[in-house]
Amino acid sequence: MIAQQNRQFAYGGEPSFNPKILCVVFGFTCVVLAFASIANSQTVSGYGMVEESDSSSQVVGFTEPFKQIELASDELGSIAEMFVVEGDFVAEKAVVAQLDNRVQKLQLEMATQILSNKSELVVAEQILAKRKSILNRLRVIQAKGHASDAEIIRAEMELAIAKSKLLSAQEDVAIRKIEKQRALMQLERRSILAPFDGVVSKIHRKRGEFLSPLHPEVVTIVQVDRLLAIFNVPSSQASMFKAGATHQVQLSNGYTVDAVVEKIGIVTDAQSGTVEIKFVIQNADGQIRSGESVVLNI
């Protein structure tokens, strides 16, 4: 039938259309238009993009550690001991790694020994006491007419010299104390301490490796008992959020948790028209993993 119609059309005759074919074409066109309408009515959401619905919109964000640091040392030297492995919890000021400190220990021992030697100070104190005693006796004798003014002047000069020597000895002791403190600080700097409570997420150096200015990092420490949830919210809706306010966010497993607004960005991204807002999520039990996606309903 179709072939016959085509032959008629080719020879200039009027083609006769089949109603069944018209129905099939019309139905297929309706289906295509319906899918196109549905696709245009929805906004595909990606990282930080808004997915619009009838009454609210959703913003997809992600979580990251509340704090993260590449722990390093400004001291040069080889690592004598590593006290942590990946996954260990470390408390604030706990020793993470120890650099070779044998030289620093000797310097501290030397400074301690020098400080303990106070013979010059003792001698200066004794000489000063003796000069005071001599001057006092000469003044008593002078009152009786048995000592001249020259003897008194000479005794006063010797007393002044004794005071000067005592002051010099006291200054030497103060300098030795500072030297000991410096040696102690140099020794303490050979210990690499954790700056806050956290978890060791990565080990960069092993025992025996040398720390250089180009590669001073030792470990990565993250604080995950609290997490940051970061969203890029449309600038027109950023005014809905206030620092310290509590909102609910949905985790990737479907559960919802409370999140407190930590920081609202002051700059709108020119390309996306969004403002970065950071929330704090309590994670004392460690059930929420860093890096997972979260959803905020606006």
Q: Domain of 105: which CATH number? A: 1.10.287
Length of the chain as a residue count: 298
Query: Do 34 and 55 lie in a common domain?
Result: no
Query: Do 112 and 160 lie in a common domain?
Result: yes
- Give the residue carrying structure tokens 């009786």: 144
Query: Do 61 and 19 lie in a common domain?
Result: no
Assessment of whether the complete model's pTM goes beyond 0.75 = no
Does residue 183 belong to any structural domain of this protein? yes
Task: Give the model's pLDDT for residue 32.
Answer: 52
- Give the residue carrying structure tokens 């403002």: 275
In which domain, by residue range, is 6 found? Answer: 2-41
Q: Domain of 234: which CATH number? A: 2.40.30.170
Low-confidence ranges of the chain (pLDDT < 70): 1-56
Task: Give the model's pLDDT for residue 20.
Answer: 54
Q: CA 12: distance to chain centroid?
A: 84
The 10s digit of each residue's pLDDT in 10-21 is 444 444 445 556
Query: Do 109 and 179 lie in a common domain?
Result: yes
Does residue 89 belong to any structural domain of this protein? no
Query: Do 110 and 185 lie in a common domain?
Result: yes
Does residue 260 belong to any structural domain of this protein? yes
Query: Do 251 and 177 lie in a common domain?
Result: no
Does residue 165 belong to any structural domain of this protein? yes
Are the C-beta atoms of residues 120 and 167 closer than 8 Å to each other? Answer: no
Does residue 120 belong to any structural domain of this protein? yes
DSSP 254-298: S-EEEEEEEEE-SS--TTT-EEEEEEEEE-TT--SPTT-EEEEE-
Query: Do 148 and 120 lie in a common domain?
Result: yes
Task: Give the model's pLDDT for residue 142.
Answer: 86
Select from 143, 174, 189 the last residue of a domain: 189
Does residue 146 belong to any structural domain of this protein? yes
Query: Do 105 and 185 lie in a common domain?
Result: yes
Task: Give the model's pLDDT for residue 160.
Answer: 95
Does residue 12 belong to any structural domain of this protein? yes
Query: Do 15 and 55 lie in a common domain?
Result: no
Query: Do 223 and 170 lie in a common domain?
Result: no
Task: Give the model's pLDDT for residue 57.
Answer: 83
Instruction: Provide the 3-class DSSP secondary structure of residue 71.
Output: strand
Task: Give the model's pLDDT for residue 35.
Answer: 53
Query: Do 172 and 139 lie in a common domain?
Result: yes
| Mean pLDDT, all residues of the chain | 85
Select from 167, 189, 211 the last residue of a domain: 189
Query: Do 59 and 113 lie in a common domain?
Result: no
CB atoms within 10 A of CB 218: 25
Domains contained in the chain, number:
3
Are the C-beta atoms of residues 184 and 108 closer than 8 Å to each other? Answer: yes
CB within 8 A of 204, min separation 6: which ones?
70, 215, 217, 218, 219, 220
- As a whole number of angstroms, the distance between CA 192 and CA 80 comes to 11
Does residue 149 belong to any structural domain of this protein? yes
